[in-house]
Structure formats: structure tokens, C-alpha cells
Amino acid sequence: MEKLTIAEETFESRLIVGSARFPDPDTMCRALEASGTEMVTVAIRRANLENNGQIDVLSYLQEGGYKLLPNTAGCYTAKEAVLTAKMAREALDTNWIKLEVIGDEDTLFPDVPELLKAAEELLLEGFVVLPYTNDDPITCKKLARMGCAAVMPLGAPIGSGMGIRNPYNLRIIKEQVDVPVIVDAGVGTASDAAIALELGMDAVLLNSAVSQAKHPVEMAEAMRKGIEAGRLAYEAGRMPRRLYAKASSPEEGLIDVQHNE
């Protein structure tokens, strides 16, 4: 398969996995390995970097060669998000940031004006910005033109597991931006991930679908296979849809089975 490139860095895997809400660190480590991911998100505001348990997890991720993608989860203003991103850069020695600016506690939908404001400031500060946003082509175009390294529209609300609710908007976004499009949020099972890649999306970012599964390690493997199948199907090019049936066998040269009377 064609490799994924973000901000001139290349990745074999098109699956990005979060590190939160796993039953225990051991399950997280085994699930990440099973997923085949090369990039793992870390919520800076929710992580106690001085806690022994958390620092062990961070050490494992760094020693395992995973690229850390800190995020600004839990931020509700541009000011909070920018400060959190700067803290992450100091703590984890990376200028990559998954930018989240939430506008509503119940739906966890983005606050678009604050998101755009934070993205602009972080880009000026030299960050590689990957913004979580709604599935709005206009917002995604603004973020891409601003200089974001990718856009990350939601497939459905965070943690809902509802899958890809608006494939049409995602296809429009993919056609109208010239940076990678990563579906972020809403994926619940492997078929959701496959659909996203079949639509032409460049990657999927997920967390709850694996960490909250009955068997996280097995679900992580399923997600890896779903991503691979979806991308292969996209690259192969599906057959056209037709309203009526069309025989799969050629109609030319059929044996005449009619009997003459």
C-alpha cells in the first residue's frame, strides 16, 4: 500500500491510536502492538506526568519507538489549548500537536472560532498542527489553507461509536483540501474504519473503540485489518454501482439451447 505522509514524515500504518481509558497499562501496550500503529496520542491535561504509573506508560511509548502525538483534550478556549500545547512541547520534546478546542460538554463538538484562533497562533509558534474539527468542508479548507499539516474531521461524536454518519461531507473534504484527511472520533468497530479508508480518507484516529471493547487487544488487531482492507479496496478501485443487474458472465457466444419444432 501507499505510505501515509504527514508534514514530510512517512508512516507505514494509517491507524493512530489513543492511550486513554484502557483497563490497565499492560492491556494498552498489547493493544498498541496488535494495532500496528506508529503514532499514539497522549492527553496532556489529563495526564499526571509526575505520577509513577503514567511516567511508566510514557517511557514504554518512547522506548517502543512510537511517535507521541500530544493532544489538547479538555480545552474549551484557544488560550487553554495554546498553553497546553506549549506544555506538551516542553514535557515531551515534540512540536506536533493534536489540537482540540471543545465547545460543548455534552456533544464534545468543536468550538470552530476558538479552534481557528488556536490553530493560527500555534502555527506561528512553529507547531505541526493536526486539528480535530467537525465534518464541515469550509472549516477544513480554512484550516488547510492556514497551514495545518492535516485536518481531522469527526465521523461521529467522540466516544459514540456510531461510525461514519456523513460520508458525503468527508468525500467533499477530501476533494477540496490538499493535506491528509484523518477521521477522528466516532469509529466503533473494524467495518467503520474500513469504510473511512474506502472513502479515500488517509487515516483513522481512534481510542474508545479499542480501549472500551470487551477484548481490546483483539479489537486492535481487527482495526488494523479493517484499515488495511479499506485502503487496499480504495487503491484497487471498486466496480461502478448500477441500478439494475448485469450478468457477470459474458453474453457473447452463448450456446443456443432453443429447440426447433
Q: Which residues are catalytic?
A: 98
User: Binding site annotation covers 185?
Assistant: yes
- The answer on whether 207 is annotated among ligand-binding residues is yes
The span from the CA of 27 to the CA of 215, in Å, is 9
Indicate the helix (H) or strand (E) that contains 108.
none
- Cell numbers 479548507: residue: 141
**Sign, CA torsion 75/78/84/88:** positive
Residue 56: how many CA atoms within 13 Å on its side-chain side?
8
Tell me the three cell numbers of residue 238: 471498486
Helix (H) or strand (E) holding 1: none
Query: Which cell is 240 given?
Result: 461502478
d(CA 233, CA 31): 25
Task: List strand residue ranges (DSSP E) for 78-222, in order.
Answer: 96-99, 128-133, 152-153, 182-184, 203-206
Is 147 annotated in a binding site? The answer is no
> What's the rounded Cα separation, in Å, for the pair 168 and 205?
19
Question: Is 222 a known ligand-binding residue?
Answer: no
Query: Residues forming the annotated binding site for 1-deoxy-D-xylulose 5-phosphate?
Result: 159, 185-186, 207-208
Q: Which residues are annotated as a binding site?
A: 159, 185-186, 207-208
